[in-house]
Amino acid sequence: MKKLATAFAALMFMACGESGPTGNAPPAPPPPPPPPAAPPGDVGFSIIDNAFVDSQGRQNAQSSETMTANQMVGWIHNGANLHTVTFTSVPSGAVTDDSGNLTNRQTFEQTLITPGTYVFRCDVHPATMIGATIIVN
Sites of contact with Cu ion (CB under 5 A): 83, 122, 124-125, 129
* Shortest distance in whole angstroms from residue 70 CB to Cu ion: 28
Q: How far is the CB of 71 from Cu ion (least distance, A)?
A: 25
CB of 124 to Cu ion, least distance (A): 4
81 vs 114 by CB, closer to Cu ion:
81
- CB-wise, 83 or 118, nearer to Cu ion? 83
Nearer to Cu ion (CB atom), residue 60 or residue 71: 60
On the 0-12 / 13-18 / 19+ scale of CB atoms within 10 A, 10 is exposed
| Least separation in angstroms between CB 39 and Cu ion | 16
State which residue, 51 or 136, has the beta carbon closest to Cu ion. 51
Contact 75, 47 (CB under 8 A): yes
